[in-house]
Chain A
Amino acid sequence: MFLAGLPLTTLLLVGGGVALATVVLYILKLRRRPVAVPFASLWERVLKDREASTFFSQLKRWLSLLLQLAMLAALVLALGDPRPEASALAARNLVVLLDSSASMAATDVDKNRLELAKKKLLELISGLKSEDRMLIAKLDANVRALSPLTSETGVLRQAVERVRWTDTALDLQQGLSFAQDVLRGLPNAEVIVISDGAFVAPASLRDPLGAKLSFVGVGKESDNLAITELSARRYPLDKSRYEVLLALENTGKKAALVELSLFGDGQVIDVSQLRVEPGERVPRFFTDLAGASQQLEARIRVLEGKDYLPNDNRAFARMPERRRAKILVVTPGNTYLEAALLLDEYLDVTQVEPSAYPPSGSFDVTILDGVAPPAAPNTGARLFLNPPASGSPLKRGPRLENFGFDTWDRKSPVLRFMDLLDVQVASGYALKPEPGDHVLGQSELGPILVSGTRAGQSFLSLGFDPRDSDLVLRVAWPLLILNAINTFVEQDAEYQSAYRTGDIWRLRVPAGLETADLKRPDGSRVSIPVREARAEHFGEYAGFYQLSWAGAQVPFSFAANLQDSAESQIGPQSELVVAGAKAQIVSGFEPGLRQRYWGYLLIAVAFVSTLEWFTYHRRLTV
């Protein structure tokens, strides 16, 4: 204990003087209030009987004086501002990285891991020395400071209260970099990670941490079952039907019996039971599903076994809208092309002679069969079949004969589900792509299928007349046409059945916007910025979202999922090793180090004084 306020000698002088004055005042007789009584003899008789209790009265009087002196001593001591000896040590600069990733929602401890972590953090705050400074940052896939570097415990406690978990994985590397930046150049720096340790710690750091690293672990159990994948798509040739891929994983150490439910627009589509062995990943396909479902949700319920993390027991997916694409076909007549377009009932096809181009109306895609007129407004993307030498976005190369697709881009959405290896072409022309164009297929003699963009409008160009090949006799022909159309209308091209939390989502919106309005799964709304016709948002929570903007008649809906097998591994770690160095156990946070006893002394004095006042006026102590 040491005195941070007035020195001891001063306190003794002040205390002695005031004590002396108190004693003098105390022994002075009070001027009593005169009160008349009708017959004093009656009082005399009573008072004679009470003479025996005079000693007790005197004792009470002296006790009262001692109490007064004790209160005085407490006041004088308060002036000295006594503090614990340990609080005189050097001040520390602390950055606390509080894990708020999805695994912290595990319920293997009281309430959940995050609540326990917050409780432990509050204990650390209570154990701060008066000169210590602390910054609290919330760490998941992102790092976010919740408080300044401060010694105000009230601010720190408020910061702790604001923390809630997110459906994201933890990025410790990012958190440590943040701590490095904060603590750079500060003395007695320390980084405290409060986490369950259910993550992959970085094996190396870009820069030395330059601070003491401490670890506070939370969590006990590792049993968990998770939906680690959920995706859905409509069949290209029958968009009224769809298929769903789902993966289930047991990340715990015990086998579990799980009930898996699949819901479409809130209605049950399928319910099944699965036994999942420890560490096993069970994929499930739901094929040829029917219905006009927009929203898909998968849920698991553990029938036998333990599941401590509820976050990953639900997964969400959104299927693309079924919209009629408006197609303009400019051809003198092509039976194969017309047949291919008939396969998709969701196409609104308009066919015109080349001389009638451009017709009135607006179109998503224009298919130009052997012609290449100048692009007209509102005619959309263009698909060239055997374009002429002039008018086409691509220059025509040398004439080719007896060739085929030797290589093609299998990952391109235009060519998916296709095998072009045996396609034979009698004659055609090689195409000359320009920089920025993408060659999707080529023979050994040159590119024959190229995509690109001209004047902001996409195009796809096929270097031969399909009727001069056996392509039109293959399944690949209608697929090529329909894939190309789907790609152009971006129905499939940018469609994602679910976004992944922990990433920055870039959502396509009309150009010219500055902000868009995002409705989150919990119903809250947030305005998010738009850059280059993309609304950007850091996704933190799984569920269904709705994005709307000025002029949007129907909001754009999409789903988001955790879908992180690593984050579903909730087995806690008792120690943290970063870049080969083991984090230490936190120390130096003894409750009471921050205590300033003068406040308590004043409260005690006020309490005793009030008690004495009450008992005096109630005549309990006189």
Chain B
Amino acid sequence: MGLFELFRRPRSGEAARSKAPGIGLFDEQFQRKLEMLALVSRRVFAGRQRAERRSKKQGSGIEFADHREYTVGDDFRTVDWNAYRRFGRLLVRLYEEEEDLSIYLLVDCSSSMGFRDERKFDQARRLCAALAYVGLANLDRVTIVGVSDEIKSTLPTTRGKGRILQVFRFLSQLQPSGVTDLEACLTKFVAQHKRRGLAVLISDLYDPAGFERGINVLRFNKFEPYVLHLVDPRDAVSDLKGDVRIYDCETGEERDVTITDGLLRKVAEAVAHYQSAIERFCASRTVPYFAANIDVPFDELVLRVFRRGGFLR
């Protein structure tokens, strides 16, 4: 290493790349915890049949969903004659089609996820693996996609918990790099995946263009978004002092700042405000939201996710 290397600012994601991928991330202890989580999920949601999920796709199920006008070619058996007698209109009964759920686990792989010591990214991968395992164990169709400003990598749709090792391998190969542009990336995602389903976005939502856009892409394309917001408490606390030049770890955008206690308090307030803004946004759009503190063990987080609902039904 040359002398100037000592003073060179590391480029975004460089620190993350220097670390060997997935070392110790999915060890035996982790796998045992996954088993436990699968058992717990079965106990919590006992009575449900596998792949017994209602989908918004009306079809040949047995549970009534809605009426629509009769059109030529419809099965006469589906005509609701009682409704015809009451309203004088030909209405066809629609039933919810029962099918196995497609779960898309969207893992944010931008540089901000690997900021500092990649704890955030590691936690994201553990959470992803846990949710994937539970999904696989429930015979759901699980797809994992690494996102940043583009789709970095995709684990093709798979099912059955025997494929969990494939999931591990895939997650281990993911590296945090690049900037966050959820809107562009998820637009590509929805275009590539016609089969709608549960889209779990595991991200810190540090999107310069705004976190709303990415979530809205999922909403507007009939996906059921589930936001798993990774929160690093250290983002709100800093021991910085004096005159510094801050730069964004993704965009490299710079700004000269004299850091004071007052400024640090303001930044902490801004971080808290940003998180509450995400929470309010999701609540107003009935998007399930869960703030995952990375200091909390992943298995505890997953259980909270289960209890919160929206992931397993």
B242 touches A33 (CB 8 A): yes
Chain A 389-415 per-residue mask, 1 if CB under 8 angstroms from chain B, else 0: 000000000000000000000000000
Pick from A36, A41, A617 the residue with the most CB of B within 10 Å.
A36
Number of interface residues of A (CB under 8 A): 23
A28 within 8 A of B: no
B247 touches A32 (CB 8 A): no
A35 touches B204 (CB 8 A): no
Residues of A within 8 A of B75 (CB): none
Residues of B within 8 A of A30 (CB): 243
Interface residues of A in 32-55 (CB under 8 A from B): 32-47, 49-50
A622 within 8 A of B: yes
Of the residues B245, B248, B266, contact of A32 by C-beta under 8 Å = B245
Taking A46-B266, A50-B266 as contacts, is the C-beta distance between A35 and B261 under 8 angstroms? no
A47 to B116, CA, bound (A): 23
Chain A 547-574 per-residue mask, 1 if CB under 8 angstroms from chain B, else 0: 0000000000000000000000000000
B246 touches A37 (CB 8 A): yes
List 6 A-B pairs, minimum CB-CB distance, nearest first.
A40-B248, A39-B206, A32-B245, A46-B266, A38-B115, A619-B260
Beta-carbon nearest neighbor of B232 in chain A: A38
Residues of B within 8 A of A37 (CB): 246-249
B166 within 8 A of A: no
B246 touches A42 (CB 8 A): no
A42 touches B251 (CB 8 A): no
A-B contact pairs, 22 of them (CB 8 A): A30-B243, A32-B244, A33-B243, A34-B244, A34-B254, A37-B246, A37-B248, A38-B204, A38-B206, A38-B232, A39-B235, A39-B248, A40-B251, A41-B248, A43-B246, A44-B255, A617-B242, A619-B261, A622-B242, A622-B243, A622-B258, A622-B260
Q: List A residues at the B interface (Cβ < 8 Å).
A: 30, 32-47, 49-50, 57, 617, 619, 622
Smallest CB–CB gap between A31 and chain B, Å? 9
Taking A46-B263, A46-B266 as contacts, is the C-beta distance between A35 and B245 under 8 angstroms? yes
A35 touches B246 (CB 8 A): yes
Beta-carbon nearest neighbor of B204 in chain A: A38
A71 to B253, CA, bound (A): 39
Chain B 250-286 per-residue mask, 1 if CB under 8 angstroms from chain A, else 0: 0101111111110100110111001000000000000
A47 to B259, CA, bound (A): 10
Smallest CB–CB gap between A380 and chain B, Å? 99
A619 touches B267 (CB 8 A): no
Pick from A37, A41, A50, A57 the residue with the most CB of B within 10 Å.
A37
Pick from B246, B260, B269 the residue with the most CB of A within 10 Å.
B246
Interface residues of B in 88-125 (CB under 8 A from A): 112, 115-116
Number of interface residues of B (CB under 8 A): 37
B255 touches A47 (CB 8 A): yes
B241 touches A35 (CB 8 A): no
Chain B 77-96 per-residue mask, 1 if CB under 8 angstroms from chain A, else 0: 00000000000000000000
Residues of A within 8 A of B244 (CB): 32-35
A619 touches B256 (CB 8 A): no
A38 touches B235 (CB 8 A): yes
Taking A34-B9, A36-B115, A37-B247 as contacts, is the C-beta distance between A45 and B241 under 8 angstroms? no
A40 touches B255 (CB 8 A): yes
Residues of B within 8 A of A34 (CB): 9, 244-247, 254
Taking A37-B248, A40-B255, A42-B267 as contacts, is the C-beta distance between A32 and B241 under 8 angstroms? no
B51 within 8 A of A: no
A619 to B240, CA, bound (A): 11
Residues of A within 8 A of B241 (CB): 617, 619
B297 within 8 A of A: no
A356 to B170, CA, bound (A): 142
A619 to B261, CA, bound (A): 7
Interface residues of B in 212-254 (CB under 8 A from A): 232, 235, 240-249, 251, 253-254
Taking A35-B240, A36-B115, A36-B249 as contacts, is the C-beta distance between A49 and B266 under 8 angstroms? yes
Q: List B residues at the A interface (Cβ < 8 Å).
A: 9-10, 112, 115-116, 204, 206, 208, 232, 235, 240-249, 251, 253-261, 263, 266-267, 269-271, 274
Residues of B within 8 A of A57 (CB): 258
Taking A36-B247, A619-B261 as contacts, is the C-beta distance between A43 and B255 under 8 angstroms? yes
Smallest CB–CB gap between B76 and chain A, Å? 59
By secondary structure, the B interface counts as: mixed
Residues of A within 8 A of B248 (CB): 36-41
Residues of A within 8 A of B240 (CB): 35
Residues of A within 8 A of B270 (CB): 42-43, 45-46
B242 touches A36 (CB 8 A): no
Smallest CB–CB gap between A434 and chain B, Å? 107
Residues of A within 8 A of B112 (CB): 38-39
B246 touches A36 (CB 8 A): yes
List 5 extra interface pairs beyond A35-B245, A36-B247, A37-B246, CB under 8 A: A36-B115, A36-B248, A38-B115, A39-B206, A39-B235
A50 to B246, CA, bound (A): 16
A50 touches B235 (CB 8 A): no
Beta-carbon nearest neighbor of B266 in chain A: A46
Smallest CB–CB gap between A325 and chain B, Å? 97
A37 to B208, CA, bound (A): 13
A35 to B244, CA, bound (A): 7
Beta-carbon nearest neighbor of A40 in chain B: B248
Taking A37-B247, A619-B261 as contacts, is the C-beta distance between A42 and B255 under 8 angstroms? no
Taking A38-B112, A619-B261 as contacts, is the C-beta distance between A43 and B242 under 8 angstroms? no
Of the residues B232, B245, B249, contact of A33 by C-beta under 8 Å = B245
Pick from B260, B271, B274 the residue with the most CB of A within 10 Å.
B260
A49 to B267, CA, bound (A): 11
A617 to B259, CA, bound (A): 11
A45 to B273, CA, bound (A): 11
Residues of A within 8 A of B267 (CB): 42-43, 46
Smallest CB–CB gap between A614 and chain B, Å? 13
A426 to B174, CA, bound (A): 152
Beta-carbon nearest neighbor of A41 in chain B: B208
Residues of A within 8 A of B269 (CB): 46
Beta-carbon nearest neighbor of B258 in chain A: A622
Beta-carbon nearest neighbor of A57 in chain B: B258
A43 to B266, CA, bound (A): 9
A40 touches B256 (CB 8 A): no
Residues of B within 8 A of A33 (CB): 242-245
Beta-carbon nearest neighbor of A39 in chain B: B206
A38 touches B249 (CB 8 A): yes
Taking A39-B112, A46-B267, A46-B270 as contacts, is the C-beta distance between A32 and B235 under 8 angstroms? no
A57 to B9, CA, bound (A): 28
Smallest CB–CB gap between B214 and chain A, Å? 15
Taking A619-B259, A619-B260 as contacts, is the C-beta distance between A40 and B245 under 8 angstroms? no
A39 to B266, CA, bound (A): 14
Pick from A43, A45, A617 the residue with the most CB of B within 10 Å.
A43
Beta-carbon nearest neighbor of A46 in chain B: B266
Beta-carbon nearest neighbor of A30 in chain B: B243
Smallest CB–CB gap between A36 and chain B, Å? 5
A43 to B240, CA, bound (A): 13
A367 to B204, CA, bound (A): 130
A42 touches B261 (CB 8 A): no
Beta-carbon nearest neighbor of A29 in chain B: B256
Residues of A within 8 A of B271 (CB): 42
Taking A42-B270, A45-B270, A619-B259 as contacts, is the C-beta distance between A35 and B208 under 8 angstroms? no
Of the residues B204, B232, B247, B258, contact of A40 by C-beta under 8 Å = B247
A35 to B247, CA, bound (A): 6
Residues of A within 8 A of B260 (CB): 619, 622
A35 to B238, CA, bound (A): 11
Residues of A within 8 A of B116 (CB): 38
Smallest CB–CB gap between B14 and chain A, Å? 11
Smallest CB–CB gap between A63 and chain B, Å? 15
A619 touches B242 (CB 8 A): yes
Smallest CB–CB gap between B125 and chain A, Å? 18
A45 to B232, CA, bound (A): 19
A47 touches B257 (CB 8 A): yes
B243 touches A42 (CB 8 A): no
